[in-house]
Structure 1
């Protein structure tokens, strides 16, 4: 059925009656010792627990008088009937229908030091240019600028360079996408290997020739096939300054959808390869093709010890503004920086593209004449109908002066008399002929310019670092320092438009299946890295190093590189050509299940596994029976399987063992109560099922979450000319409500550990689940939307949250899961310009509440009205959007988009403290993000055989990490043999920035902060720390080793890396 355009409120799209009421009601009856811990006394009966909880709710939720009254009535009913758990240890249902879980005997506490809350409200380093202000200032009009269509006419005086000649560095490059229109291997076979083979030969022909390269994924593949002579030639070229590796990441990463874990991981993989094979350290960043630029990237490059960077794809209006103020070069500073510690020198290219017609100067018609691959007779030509000419004696003077005029005009946009002119494009220099055409003709021009002093120019080939060094030298400052009078900028460069209203905001959502899969694999990779590092260290400690299968390390390296490859700006973006089904399997009882907690804090959570019987009992390692909720397994018609959900407390970064076995009567195993709402009929579903299912005729009423309404909306694309595609979002107007003729089938499941509502629509299935467990899992609403729009034509499905939060035109989105960026909805911009990437979360807030939507996959998000958040869930588009891909988005897959919705309230007396440029999540929000993106991994194990040692819980930490620390990775460092680990481990830690002004909740684990202090030697159980050495982020630069018993210190928001030797 086609998505309809009628304006109808989405009946049934809300899925549950007063979910937040249920959320509060479930919370009120669970044991919550953390909130009573200050008195040191815990209640002795279930009734006193409820009464204490009521007192807390009365203080915190004064406006919800009806809810409070209902809770009081429920407690009175309990008091009258004397209803308690029969044994005092079993789940039971209270008189009002709510479930009460047994107290697990583990009091928890939250101790955040006041000093650790100061960062969010402290002063910031002053920036001269704040991108939020720039967006407010600009009109975003698009007048015709003449030959520089998106700019303005550039003039100069001929004598401006008489005293200081213009220095020109022409930088040859070839941008190699590791997978776009062709696959990675096809590109390598057809073009990349020839580019690098030619490079070795052609650079050696003249020491004045230079070249830069960035993608190590391609370079490493070529290196493996290169003979020893080519490898030595490359080392010689690098040593001689003719070849420079720029950025040095595994790929030129996307900067919108990618998570900072993956950004760092691919950067480490590239840098470690360079150090091991070439012994070099990149100095300059090169990002010409990501579709917009994140403020996270300059921070990571700075912490990797790079001194300078270059960016290209920035909104044309911003480029014009920066050019007019000569601000295209600036020190890029993090908005949260309290000083200048994160500053890195950044060069922004001024024109439309990084190809040759748009790099020599403002007039592409002239610049194209100096792209000598386009000489007549070749495969490509100049669209402006004036071809290049081979440089000969008869035309060299005219050619040199024509080119110099462009150089001078371009230099007027910058503050120094040093000019950068890239010379290249996608997959250039794959033929020996092009090397000769470009290098020979340009060298003739350089020689002419340099031997005519009246031209006042010094032109040469150069590398990127040659250019930056010349800028620093011109200002007499050290590398990486701020040149005098150059501006300091903070903020980011989203959303990107290259012309007209063509905003590249569609790719924030394109191919969401792969964006979701990427995040799952990243989590699995991180978990494998941590477990592998701990396993190897424990094997060494036990003297079993030789028996541990180090061959597994090669698999880990392959996984790193595969994940790294997917962070490329045409992979995770969903903008590559078309070219997973995960079967968790049913656990056959009896069996063991080992649960791995990849989070660095203790975790109390509900875990669901599929079992082959409803007669199941689950025990902990020490024989304690745990509460189990049995539910029907709805994804299969088989009656031989069921979902068993049980509560597990898991050690940080640890493994816990549970025993599942057949038990005809387990008082701790309780069956879900399921209600089906069917449109227009009342029938029994799944008759004969051992799990009870009731059915009820559905009505057409709209369900509401308290203060939050959920709607599903549909965007079309423009009816003529330019249309939406893989990159661009070009809607045909405002979204229209999703509509279908019949009401949805709604399934309601209630039980002791979770309750959920599932609504089945034609094009999606929406599940809202609330966990009735103490701690992080029980404090947010879990939302899963299974989207399938494969029968649609040019439609985009959106989920919209409508609330009464007075957020105005301001909302907040994350940058790469690393930091929050304030956004503003601008009426002066088209609808599509107000969408931003959301890799991990977005929120709206007012002086009383904050509503955060956490996401397990990157999607596009906006707030188009006060109190709203809107997420694009999937896109199906039938045409190309003329950005080089050559096809639409027609390979959609059935995709599960997973979210958690978190409502927080500001503490009494705590006003909203966010400045205009910074905002920070609460500690609960950080933990919610962690549990969503790092799910518990369930590993079924066959029953023990004789002679096999019993499985045991593995709790690797001796002391707790502060709860504002995130263990980003614990990565075994490669030895010189790329297939085996060295004795060293990289420990990468991120100290989170916290907003302490939101009400503290029971997190379910002991949470303390330490003002950024950590004693690493006391962190790991049964392991000796033999080396503690601070490193740069990508492990290429080392500081003096610390004493093994030293306490390390991290400032808020900072990421630090250490080399450890554990034994």
Structure 2
């Protein structure tokens, strides 16, 4: 047996997961596809429903069919009705996508219904497509959360239906633009193809004219083809039926009236219209097969309407073949259609960039949602970090983590909440306000379950069952325990597989404290007076007068403990100085300010004596109300459309407050207006400049919607180029007013140049690179040479007519408008060294240490420090996943986090020994899996495609040095199921 699948008798029980029995006569997958006719145009009718996991209604309301005054939709009735209708004719097919809904429905079914559904799945008549918990957004999601939500759905299908439940096609019919990293993920999960509905209107027109609606998407520059190559098809009608052929109860199209004795008999008209539609569609595709999506949003509550009319359509169209017609209509699925394209053995065009930004008309760019609901976007990102910590501590703490001194805890609730949050109307910010609240409540509920688990695990690992609290509002300096206690301990858990240094700020009321680490060594600290900005954001939720600032050092995949004691019980001394300082600096960076304006003036890397001129300010674009002469399109939750290319400056100068603390942190607070402020920070010993911005409530009494940006203007000669990450992983080159795929006719010079970032963006010239790391997904652009602008907040007064039906004007906690606070981290380096710095910095922003607190000092028998690893992983390697799989096995993913040519130091293969990885348990056996963890890697086969570059598949080789040593190449993620013993 090859080393990819490590031989161990202990693994036999794990293998059973992937060999669930199917019916004796089961014929699913490609073998279940209907026969086609080579000499005819084969029309594949795909009955489907698109069920948003929340949008205008909450997930629960959609499932039960509640609040139909908002939108008539009830998913439980759809599944009931479809299963009933599929039983009436073995030729009928149906696909289902959103496992968050199907999982809930399945749990409510009796054994007889489950048996029927299993038979339908085993016969290929009910086919699962995509298979994730939801159909995720592609612009504002982080790759780790996408992989998790896909794994959640795929595992349920695998456990429930075995091999016949495994999806073979990715299906993203509704997301608003498509990320290259998503295609790479799907390819590595073993998918054979990918279909979507939305792409830029100019791109679509060109592709239709050149018959390039279907292509091979090369989704990685680092992974060797065809590892990240994915056949990709653009659906002809978005995801709706062709005009005139919608037979849902929500539609107005005429049914097929086939009684010739009746006056309104219309079979001939319907058939001729269909033939005309099919032949017209076929002009834009390369084979004698075309696909028609027969369904739409929440359709098939009464599936009989659809199937009765489609049965007739198939019957009457195919009857004309006896008279020489060359059109053949069949019930089909996306995978059966894909198989026919593969059998055609054609050469397909190659795509290497992505599908952003998306516009459906000249002035309608869907680039606003990159930033919409910025507070929810941050909460989702923080929840991802907490989920990874929860997963890890569930493994490290063992069974007592789930049932221990603090009660019953679990990670499943948070996994499902995060799965829902990845939906393309969730983290995207394109939902109604009451639905946004529901997403946040689900994440909070999931975190409450994880908190219990984490307390239990830390009690097991530390030997201390003293009460432990976590403070969720530290970013606005609220934590009752630290504000009131004279002596307390702080546990710092680090979810990264390398040691980290991290600045901590705790709300306090004394003026001096002692801080000691796990070894009893004193740590430099300083109390900083609480800023006016924080007091205004916090309001009456806390009463701290200062913040205790110090740096923590945490071991890899483990925790350490700090003890904090009050020395002087009096308010901190106000050291505020007014007026711009000439500069602040530590041993790595120097920042200068303009004496007249109070704005940033320059940034210097002192290690290499490299300087850029750097000016930063805040602006807002006046959001279009849809009343100018060019277009009636306003800005809204989806669409960004400023009514001018020149933003309004918030203030040309900044009022300055200076707080300089030697040895710990230096800060300058800038006030730009009553609703915009910023703290410029340099922590001692750190190589990045921190900009902590606070924006809101955005004023709207002037009747103007506002899209707020910060712009960094430099003397870097970027020549119209800038760079953005794709879902937090590989970086793509962007160029102003340019698309690699077609000759762009730019109609919106600002919105048409915006792109999503999930963790970082940068500009560079031959010698200097300015990188900006963000704490959430946002929109970014480079409108001017040497500049980067990042959209921080949006408050709008009009709906953008894309279905939400309400303006994006979040009320905030106090009903006067949402206040948002966030951080940007800036680094200045030579381009060839930049990745060495910003890769780990971005990873650290995504997976932040978790702080927990206990009143008093730790007991003498407490273990103050712990690491779950025998040694830190190399910097190039990231432990992407550590999660309990079942009683005796865990799932891990090891990721090479550098691209092939990104770093002279780290873009090299790295070998890791699985047996020497963990300290908390012994690894007894290991088996490699697909990225989605629903197939053994050695069993994974994919369809092969010819492309313009004519790159043939690379045979799988035994590349690992030994059964336990696994090698990671740049950008490679490897997934293993480990059999372990605590």
Task: Give the TM-score normalised by structure 1.
Answer: 0.73
1:974-1008 Cα distance to aligned partner (Å, 9 max, x none): xxxxxxx43211111210225888899xxxxxxx8
| 1:1015 Cα deviation after fit | 0.8
Structure 1 partner of 2:790: 871
CA distance in 1 between partners of 2:515 and 2:692 (Å): 27
Q: In 2, are the aligned partners of 1:1026 and 1:1062 still within 8 Å (CA)?
A: yes
| 1:187 Cα deviation after fit | 0.8
Q: In 2, are the aligned partners of 1:906 and 1:998 still within 8 Å (CA)?
A: no
Structure 1 partner of 2:342: 472
Count residues with an aligned counterpart: 817
CA distance in 2 between partners of 1:658 and 1:162 (Å): 73
Structure 1 partner of 2:39: 164
CA distance in 2 between partners of 1:995 and 1:202 (Å): 51
| 1:1037 Cα deviation after fit | 0.6
| 1:936 Cα deviation after fit | 2.1
CA distance in 2 between partners of 1:1021 and 1:737 (Å): 56
CA distance in 2 between partners of 1:900 and 1:742 (Å): 22
Structure 1 partner of 2:884: 972
| 1:819 Cα deviation after fit | 1.0
The verdict on how the C-alpha distance between 1:243 and 1:547 changes in structure 2, with shifts beyond 3 A counting, is closer
Q: Is the counterpart of residue 931 in structure 1 residue 931 in structure 2?
A: no
The verdict on how the C-alpha distance between 1:621 and 1:960 changes in structure 2, with shifts beyond 3 A counting, is closer
State how 1:686-705 maps to structure 2 within 5 Å.
702-705=599-602
CA distance in 2 between partners of 1:839 and 1:597 (Å): 21
| 1:597 Cα deviation after fit | 1.3
Structure 1 partner of 2:978: 1060
Q: In 2, are the aligned partners of 1:256 and 1:292 still within 8 Å (CA)?
A: yes
The verdict on how the C-alpha distance between 1:463 and 1:436 changes in structure 2, with shifts beyond 3 A counting, is closer
| 1:431 Cα deviation after fit | 2.2
Q: In 2, are the aligned partners of 1:962 and 1:1009 still within 8 Å (CA)?
A: no
Q: 2:488 aligns with which of 591, 608, 616?
A: 591
Unaligned runs of 5+ in 1: 1-160, 358-367, 476-482, 680-697, 911-920, 974-980, 1001-1007
The verdict on how the C-alpha distance between 1:703 and 1:790 changes in structure 2, with shifts beyond 3 A counting, is closer
The verdict on how the C-alpha distance between 1:950 and 1:338 changes in structure 2, with shifts beyond 3 A counting, is closer
The verdict on how the C-alpha distance between 1:1052 and 1:550 changes in structure 2, with shifts beyond 3 A counting, is farther
The verdict on how the C-alpha distance between 1:968 and 1:584 changes in structure 2, with shifts beyond 3 A counting, is farther
1:349-377 Cα distance to aligned partner (Å, 9 max, x none): 354532113xxxxxxxxxx222223xxxx
Q: 1:840 aligns with which of 751, 759, 762?
A: 759
Q: Which entry has the higher C-alpha Rg, 1 or 2?
A: 1
Larger mean Cα displacement after TM superposition, 487-496 or 614-623: 614-623
CA distance in 1 between partners of 2:403 and 2:298 (Å): 46
What value does the CA root-mean-square deviation take over the aligned residues? Answer: 2.9
State how 1:129-528 maps to structure 2 within 5 Å.
164-190=39-65, 191-279=74-162, 280-337=165-222, 339-349=224-234, 351=236, 353-357=238-242, 368-373=243-248, 380-381=251-252, 387=254, 389-393=256-260, 395-449=266-320, 452=322, 454-473=324-343, 475=344, 483-528=345-390
Aligned partner of residue 817 in structure 1, secondary structure:
coil
1:307-342 Cα distance to aligned partner (Å, 9 max, x none): 111011100111121122212111111241464223
| 1:284 Cα deviation after fit | 0.7
| 1:640 Cα deviation after fit | 5.7
Q: In 1, are the aligned partners of 2:501 and 2:551 still within 8 Å (CA)?
A: yes
Q: 2:510 aligns with which of 605, 610, 613?
A: 613
Unaligned runs of 5+ in 2: 1-35, 66-73, 435-439, 441-471, 581-594, 604-612, 739-744, 812-817, 940-959
Q: Is the counterpart of residue 1011 in structure 1 residue 909 in structure 2?
A: yes
CA distance in 1 between partners of 2:896 and 2:857 (Å): 41
Q: 1:529 aligns with which of 359, 372, 391?
A: 391
1:19-73 Cα distance to aligned partner (Å, 9 max, x none): xxxxxxxxxxxxxxxxxxxxxxxxxxxxxxxxxxxxxxxxxxxxxxxxxxxxxxx
Q: 1:1034 aligns with which of 922, 932, 955?
A: 932
Aligned partner of residue 601 in structure 2, secondary structure:
coil
1:498-549 Cα distance to aligned partner (Å, 9 max, x none): 123211011111111111111111111111111221222xx6xxxx899768
CA distance in 1 between partners of 2:107 and 2:241 (Å): 31
CA distance in 1 between partners of 2:401 and 2:543 (Å): 47
The verdict on how the C-alpha distance between 1:402 and 1:437 changes in structure 2, with shifts beyond 3 A counting, is same
| 1:818 Cα deviation after fit | 1.2
Q: In 2, are the aligned partners of 1:283 and 1:465 still within 8 Å (CA)?
A: yes
Q: Is the counterpart of residue 643 in structure 1 residue 554 in structure 2?
A: no
Structure 2 partner of 1:657: 561
Q: In 2, are the aligned partners of 1:178 and 1:251 still within 8 Å (CA)?
A: yes
Structure 2 partner of 1:51: none
The verdict on how the C-alpha distance between 1:997 and 1:1030 changes in structure 2, with shifts beyond 3 A counting, is closer
CA distance in 2 between partners of 1:607 and 1:670 (Å): 20
Structure 2 partner of 1:746: 657
Q: 1:786 aligns with which of 684, 687, 694?
A: 694
CA distance in 2 between partners of 1:756 and 1:550 (Å): 40
Structure 2 partner of 1:762: 674
The verdict on how the C-alpha distance between 1:650 and 1:338 changes in structure 2, with shifts beyond 3 A counting, is closer
CA distance in 2 between partners of 1:281 and 1:550 (Å): 38
The verdict on how the C-alpha distance between 1:967 and 1:430 changes in structure 2, with shifts beyond 3 A counting, is same
Q: In 2, are the aligned partners of 1:496 and 1:504 still within 8 Å (CA)?
A: yes
1:615-665 Cα distance to aligned partner (Å, 9 max, x none): 421112222111112212333498765322223221111100111223469
Larger mean Cα displacement after TM superposition, 639-648 or 520-529: 639-648
Structure 1 partner of 2:734: 823
Q: In 2, are the aligned partners of 1:984 and 1:1059 still within 8 Å (CA)?
A: yes
Structure 1 partner of 2:953: none
CA distance in 1 between partners of 2:908 and 2:838 (Å): 19
CA distance in 2 between partners of 1:193 and 1:991 (Å): 42
CA distance in 1 between partners of 2:781 and 2:578 (Å): 33
Q: 2:622 aligns with which of 700, 708, 716?
A: 716
The verdict on how the C-alpha distance between 1:673 and 1:699 changes in structure 2, with shifts beyond 3 A counting, is farther
Q: In 2, are the aligned partners of 1:181 and 1:885 still within 8 Å (CA)?
A: yes
Aligned partner of residue 660 in structure 1, secondary structure:
strand
1:675-711 Cα distance to aligned partner (Å, 9 max, x none): 24289xxxxxxxxxxxxxxxxxx97554423411102
The verdict on how the C-alpha distance between 1:225 and 1:997 changes in structure 2, with shifts beyond 3 A counting, is closer
The verdict on how the C-alpha distance between 1:835 and 1:640 changes in structure 2, with shifts beyond 3 A counting, is closer
| 1:770 Cα deviation after fit | 0.7
CA distance in 2 between partners of 1:900 and 1:438 (Å): 58
The verdict on how the C-alpha distance between 1:741 and 1:807 changes in structure 2, with shifts beyond 3 A counting, is closer
| 1:470 Cα deviation after fit | 2.2
Q: In 2, are the aligned partners of 1:169 and 1:459 still within 8 Å (CA)?
A: yes
The verdict on how the C-alpha distance between 1:183 and 1:640 changes in structure 2, with shifts beyond 3 A counting, is closer
| 1:674 Cα deviation after fit | 2.8
| 1:409 Cα deviation after fit | 2.0
CA distance in 2 between partners of 1:703 and 1:1046 (Å): 52
The verdict on how the C-alpha distance between 1:944 and 1:624 changes in structure 2, with shifts beyond 3 A counting, is closer
CA distance in 2 between partners of 1:640 and 1:701 (Å): 28
Task: Give the TM-score normalised by structure 2.
Answer: 0.79
The verdict on how the C-alpha distance between 1:188 and 1:700 changes in structure 2, with shifts beyond 3 A counting, is same
| 1:441 Cα deviation after fit | 3.4
The verdict on how the C-alpha distance between 1:496 and 1:591 changes in structure 2, with shifts beyond 3 A counting, is same
Q: In 2, are the aligned partners of 1:396 and 1:448 still within 8 Å (CA)?
A: no
CA distance in 2 between partners of 1:241 and 1:319 (Å): 32
1:820-855 Cα distance to aligned partner (Å, 9 max, x none): 011110185122110000111110000001111110
